[in-house]
Structure formats: C-alpha cells, structure tokens
Structure 1
C-alpha cells in the first residue's frame, strides 16, 4: 500500500463502514449509502482534519498516516460532505462528536445479543488475534482487581465512552465463561490478551501524558486514553498472523468493544479507584 492521506488501510475502511449503519453520520440525515437494487455507493469518506494543505481544518502537525487513520475519517453523503466545509460551524471537535454520537446510535440499533447469538465465535476470534502477538517491552501492571464499572467510570471521569461501558458491561460474565474454557485447554491466551491490553494502556499513557502521569491528568484525558488503546488494539488485530475468519465485521467490532470493557473492569485500562 502506498503512502498518503487518502491511502486508507482495509481495516480502517471496514471499521468505518461497519459502524456507519449504511447511513450518513450527519444528524437527521436519512441518506443510505448502498441498496440491494444496484451497486451505487453514495458514501463519501471525509477527512475531519484536511487531507492536504489548504483543505478544511488542515493540521500541519499531523502525519499522512494520521490523516488517513480511522480517528480522522467520517462517512457522509455528498451533500453533507459539502455542508461540513463550513469550518466555523463544523470544527474538528464537533465533527468527532458527530461521528461518535452516530456510531453509538448504530451500536444500539445493531442488537448486540442477536449478533453474538448468530456469530458466537466472534469473541473468540478477537481473543485469538490480540493474544497472538506478545508485547513484552513494557512493564506490566500486576493488578488483578475488578471494580463496579460505574465506580471506575466516575473515578476516572469517563464521559464519551460512558454509554459504551454501560452497554457492554453486562457481557463480562459471558467473556468469563470463554476465558474459563480457554484455561481448561491449558492455554494462556487470556493472560496474553490482558497483558497486551495493559501494555498498550501504558504506552497510551506515555504518549498522551508524558513521563509524569497523575490521576488528575488521567481524568482530563480518560476518553482519549481509551480511544488510543482501542486504536492500538485494532493495529494489533490487523498484524495478527492468524487467518481472518469469515465473520461479519460488525460482529468482530462488537467483540472488540466487549473485550475493551472487560479489560476496563479488570483495571487493565485506566486507574484503580482508591
């Protein structure tokens, strides 16, 4: 794959479309991107921070890789792609919030229980991918504590990810059963997965907070930290040597959310309440 602000990885494109609900992210827009009747795709992959110098909301400090990343892209119809060129009305932060709100609504509509029942191996697929690479270059936290998700959300001041944590915390028990079956087989996948997530959280802390990370700094950046860990996990998923199973990406996406929330409850992401 070549380099540039419009060279999106296959995984980035899959993530965008799997959480688009086949619909423009602009509030109130009912434009659907594709239909069974024809092959026309009405979606526009739009940059939140401009792809090139002179573009809307262009950030000279970003790399082309960052410009082409999932965090900097939003799916819109052609009309709203033009409408969002109004940089006074549509800022970087407002477009990111637009995307986040749209994806949260789509996750609710997808019907998590139905997808997991239809594709019960989706959680195992994500576990296999993330645990297939060992990250042993970062000191790992040894905490095995678990806390009430609500207590930990409040302690770390999570705002944007709060609805996702609330929605997926109920699957903590289901994931525990899968982990138990894995352990019965003598596998260390659970430990490798949780260690990788913890290592990625420590890496995110270093990138966002620097060398000195106080609880105040964590609280100010809680949502950014979770978001960065999630992006790191998708990069790990993409690098996995395991063969990609034939499971709809919507199911894989939900599996990833459940594993992130479970790791949050197990204190592998963000800080333990005192």
Structure 2
C-alpha cells in the first residue's frame, strides 16, 4: 500500500535525523540542531495547520523561543535536550512577557518525551502550556502522520524527501532508469526520439492550464532530467528496441483510467506515479532498489510524459520544445 510506503520512508528519515542529532551533540557538533529549527517549523505547519517561522528571522538569538506563529499565537522551542529543567528554563525567560497569551510548545527532536508529559512545571509568566498536549517528540509527529489522509501524507512525504532525501547518484540513476524502462517496455513500435531543448515557459502554461500549481515544484524538480531520459530512450530505440512508445502508453493508460476518479489534478498526477511504481514493484524482473530511488525514476518518467504531451491536456499552441 502507498500509505505504508510513505509512512515507512518518513519514519526512517525522522528516526535517522534524531539519532544523528543526538550522536553529534555528544561531540558538540550542533549544526543539525540549527537547521532542524526551520525543518521542524515547516513540518509542524504541514501537520497542524500552523504558520511557524524561525524566530531568528525577526530577532537573532532569542533565549527560550526558536519559532513563532503570530497568526495562531504560538511560540515553540526546538531542542535536542529533553529534560524538566530545560522546559522550565525556557518558561522562565522574560521573552514570555512579550508573548502574553501565546501557547508554548516544546519540540524534542532527539529523545522520547513521554515521561515529561506527566510532570508539572514552574511557569512564572503563566504561558499557555499543557504538558500533555504541548510537549511534542518524533513519536508524536509520526502518530499524526500515520492517521493522515493519504493525499496529505503524500505531501508530507514529498517535503521530507526534499529536505532529508539523498543526493542524486547520476551513475546509479542511469542504471535504474535503464532497468525500469526495460520493465515497462514490452513493445517495439516507436520511432527514434531526438533531444531538443525544453521550453519552460510552455511547460508552465500547461501546468496552469491543468490546475497543477500544487505539483509545479515536483515538475520543476524532475524536468531537469529530461535530456538524460531522452538520451536513454534514444539509446534503446537506436538499437531497434523502440521501448519509448510502450513506456508512454503505460503511463498514458494510467492517466486515462483514473482521470475521472480523482477529485483534482494533483491527486491524479500523484496517482499515476503511485500506480506506475506498483506496476514496477510487481514485475517479475524487478530487481529491488531503495524506494527513494524508485520514486525518483518514476517521477522522472511521469514528468517527462507530461512534458511530451502524453498525459494531461495541452493548452492551445503548446510546444514543449524550443525550435533549433
């Protein structure tokens, strides 16, 4: 199920991040702590509908508070230290006089905070703070993610992948794409594909025309591989394999089958990716690769099909290539 793949990926990345923060903290390497403030701000915004921003944007080195949301009157501290003393030290800061009536959330990014939720805390400025609800750790976030609707879970997955995913190994990418094209391609019906330059302006028009602004970031991320995939298709086709046509047909079939089932274009776009991934995984000649790498390759294939007019409607006069 896609839900389990999304959750398992998110869980792995958050757990690895927590372990690295804790391990590096023991040797006083704190760079991940700093970067994590903004990461967890954006993650909590996705999960809880907040608009947290890093406090350093407003004022440098504010003691006791790392994040603030003036719209929902929330302040938060992001910490790898998870103790009663740490929380009380934050609640004791004079900064809370400036944020009277704000809810305080303590985010433990490296350690389990379960025991702290049963404790009472000295709160001299009477900040709105409930230990049961306002002490958050990785398990808290994972429980929220686990119960999300699948489309929202996919959004979190895309965010975590972008922030914590591995760099692209171009050599491995080349091999993986070749294997996946071999799996998807069963017919020899297409002509050779040339390798023109893509027209970003026209692609943006097609995104707007199909109401796909929510996935524009994904399309932008993967359209840069257009030339590499183009070369790979051409390589197969020059050998007489002509596998490009059958790959396009499989992707187009997923679009045609599901275009009237999905509530919006965003859901349809991601369902195509999920269904192509499922076809590959269930193939007899699929040699398992990490899900992150599979997702990368399938996104490249689907974005390429979008650019080449194989899926979704084209605006009048659409031309995805720049004439030479």
TM value normalised by structure 2: 0.50
- State the partner residue of 2:231: 177
Give the drift of 1:180.
0.6
**Structural mapping, 1:245-256, within 5 Å:** 245=287, 247-256=289-298
1:127 equivalent in alignment to 2:181? yes
Q: Deviations over 1:103-133 (max 9, x none)?
A: 2342354355x32334431111222222249
Q: Deviations over 1:134-154 (max 9, x none)?
A: 9xxxxxxxxxxx863212111
1:222 equivalent in alignment to 2:265? yes
1:22 equivalent in alignment to 2:13? yes
Distance 1:19 1:133 in 2: 37
Do the aligned partners of 2:10 and 2:160 also contact (CA within 8 Å) in 1? Answer: no
Q: 1:14 to 1:84 in 2, by over 3 A?
A: closer
Q: 2:141 aligns with which of 57, 70, 80?
A: 80
Between 147-156 and 173-182, the greater mean CA deviation after superposition = 147-156
- State the partner residue of 1:164: 218
Q: 1:20 to 1:181 in 2, by over 3 A?
A: farther
- State the partner residue of 1:97: 152
Q: Deviations over 1:40-70 (max 9, x none)?
A: xxxxxxxxxxxxxxxxxxxxxxxxxxxxxxx
Gaps of 5+ in 1: 1-7, 34-75, 135-145, 209-219
SS for the counterpart of 1:269 is coil
Give the drift of 1:192.
0.5
Q: 1:231 to 1:166 in 2, by over 3 A?
A: same
Q: How many residues align?
A: 193
- State the partner residue of 1:263: 305
TM value normalised by structure 1: 0.58
SS for the counterpart of 1:160 is helix
Do the aligned partners of 1:168 and 1:261 also contact (CA within 8 Å) in 2? Answer: yes
1:272 equivalent in alignment to 2:314? yes
Distance 1:190 1:32 in 2: 46
Higher relative contact order (CA 8 A, sep 6+): 1
Gaps of 5+ in 2: 16-38, 45-106, 112-136, 189-197, 317-324
Do the aligned partners of 1:23 and 1:32 also contact (CA within 8 Å) in 2? Answer: no
- State the partner residue of 2:250: 196
Do the aligned partners of 1:23 and 1:30 also contact (CA within 8 Å) in 2? Answer: no
Distance 2:254 2:144 in 1: 37
Bigger Rg, which one: 2
Distance 1:122 1:20 in 2: 24
Give the drift of 1:228.
1.9
- State the partner residue of 1:116: 170
Distance 2:267 2:315 in 1: 19
Between 14-23 and 114-123, the greater mean CA deviation after superposition = 14-23
